[in-house]
Amino acid sequence: MQVTERYSRAVAISSPFLTALCDSVDRFGIYIVTSSQARSGFIYDAIVIGAGHNGLTAAAYLARAGLSTIVLERREIVGGCCVTEEIAPGCRVSTTSYIASMLRPEVISELQLGSHGLRMIPCDPAIQVPFPDGHVVPWWVDPERARQEFSKISAKDAARFVQVDNQLKKLARYLQPFFMEPPPEVDTSTLKGWTDLFRVGKRFRGISSAEISELVSFLTGSLGEFLDHNYESEKMKTLFLANNVYGKHGGPYQPGTAIGLLFHLLSSGEHELQGFYGHVMGGMGSITQALAAAGKKLGVEIRTSAAVARIEVREGRARSVVLEDGTEIRGRMVLSNADPKRTFLGLLESKQLPEDFLFSVRGIKMQGPCAKVNMVLAEEPRFTGTSPQATALERTFYTLVPSLEFAERCYDIAKFGEIPEQLWVDCVVSSNADDSLAPPGKHILTCFVQYVPYHLREGNWDEKRDLLGDRVVKKIAEYAPNVPGAIMARQVLTPLDLERTYGLTEGNIFHGDLRLEQLFFMRPVPGWSQYRTPVDGLYLCGAGAHPGGGVTGAPGRNAAHQVLRDLKKGRFRGAAA
């Protein structure tokens, strides 16, 4: 018998006074609904709030197991921050997320996303960094080719690069399994807590004391100090910036930033692009379109323009959600793809949650440090440089930051609420990899801006939006002088826009900073890292849950599997055995 047959039998009744019996599901596993509700179809095994990539992933896995599942999305399109949108006639851009390679191979294969149109384009070199002296350094995916390139900077650093690369991959193998399962329960007062700790210990069997020291250093130390210790060339150090403090609220010398060296390796799984960049044909929205298609094929219902106003809780359990238009949708369980603060402080009444839990949620560090600027150009950007490969690297990502010191200064300015005059910008001409994104003769330039404040010291973002856009263009013009005169359309997304349009509290693209005290068994808060919440039947399935941000699909997949395990174990009162 399918799970949906076992867990969501619905019986229509017409007597109004019997409506209260809807809650009898706990006793018999049977939903009793009014006839009007039955006609409207507002009864589901699972309600997923938010059609971002994790919400769609969770929904697809639940439907795959036989649960009747609905996804509710407040915008008119699915995708959350993983979308492709038109910003000028015929010109489409990955408006927010713009880097592929971290999507878990398990999600791709298990949901058969390739059969739903997903096509990834490797980006090799992964990035290239143009320096003020005209030297352009590409970072090739193949470690040996990268070593040869880096030897032109420093033979000593190139040799050290090989050692560090092997070191990182070895440490990543110890941690990799934890990314696709719930974190351990760190509670020695329970048998499960001891069992989980024993399981963790087995995973680290064979690790040496030196490797433990290295792992602790990566988890707690600063990226800048690690690079200063391992490399002598400032150019070599700068190459490591793009991949490793991306989206983090902290300069490269802030403790905890070295974890970025491991996070990309851990998030992306073991494949040829592990930790590197790539494109998606049709833009990043093709990922969520494929997930939506996979879900629909499995029976998922998706509603857009369906903003959830609140989660209804009765007798300590999530019973339904109420949309902004007043529509109530009932379900056996609710999974929220919104970030933890939006979920617990916005969709629930405070009286429904323990005070110590609310205190922890309020303390989650969220402040987003980044923005996006997308442009349509009348001609291709011509990046200057002395690299003989420069004209052959049109598909790659450019990191426009000259040094660690420059990055640290940018952060110092931004953390006090000011927009740096000189910005750190990463950019890519995405239409060079995929000419379907723009008509012939036009080009898409998408730019990620690191270190801009959510909270401005003076003025507001509606007043300062154009100033930010102008400074981004000025920065790019230092490397591609023809860009300012080629701009046909420009979209500027400030941290506030990321919050307003895409639902990212304080513009944080990871649903909470990726720092040690907010990762693993401490994400979103200590004691609640296994996707469950203090409200029975309510789960987190977004980037605010383990293992964190990036377009991985891991939180959604993990949360769905946790729900299915809980159903199997009868955690829901009255669940069929």
Strands (E), 291-358: 301-303, 308-314, 317-323, 328-336
Give the per-residue pLDDT at 210. 85
396 band by pLDDT with thresholds 50, 70 and 90: confident
Tell me the pLDDT tens digit for each residue of 5-62: 334 433 333 333 333 434 433 333 333 333 333 335 558 999 999 999 999 999 999 9
Domain 3-77+285-364+512-568, CATH homologous superfamily name and number:
FAD/NAD(P)-binding domain (3.50.50.60)
Q: Are strands 69-72 and 370-377 parallel, antiparallel or unpaired?
A: unpaired
Going from N- to C-terminal start, the domains of the chain cover 3-77+285-364+512-568, 142-268, 367-507
Percent of the chain residues topping a pLDDT of 90: 65
pTM across the whole model: 0.89
268 band by pLDDT with thresholds 50, 70 and 90: low
Tell me the pLDDT tens digit for each residue of 194-208: 777 777 777 777 788
Residue 550's contacts (CB-CB under 8 Å, 6 or more residues apart) are 102, 263, 264, 267, 510, 543
Helices (H), 305-398: 340-341, 355-362
Give the per-residue pLDDT at 267. 63
Cβ 116 vs Cβ 105: under 8 Å: no
Give the per-residue pLDDT at 135. 87
Q: For residue 511, is pLDDT > 50?
A: yes
Which token pair is 573?
Answer: 């009162």
Q: For residue 316, is pLDDT > 50?
A: yes
Mind spelling out the 3-state secondary structure of 281-300? CCCCHHHHHHHHHHHHHHCC
Helices and strands: H and E segment counts in the chain = 20, 20
Instruction: Give the mean pLDDT of 371-384.
Output: 93
CA neighbor of 507 nearest in space, from 358, 341, 306, 375? 341
Residue 405's contacts (CB-CB under 8 Å, 6 or more residues apart) are none
Give the per-residue pLDDT at 15. 36
Give the per-residue pLDDT at 265. 75
CA neighbor of 132 nearest in space, from 451, 522, 405, 460? 405
Instruction: Give the mean pLDDT of 243-257.
Output: 88
Give the per-residue pLDDT at 205. 78
228 band by pLDDT with thresholds 50, 70 and 90: very high
Name residue, tokens 């949309």: 323
CA dist 576 and 79 (Å) reads 34
Which token pair is 68?
Answer: 């009747």
Position 549, amino acid: G
Could you tell me the sign of the dihedral formed by the alpha carbons of 469, 474, 479, 482, in that order? positive
CA neighbor of 184 nearest in space, from 518, 519, 520, 514? 520
Mean pLDDT, the chain, rounded, equals 86
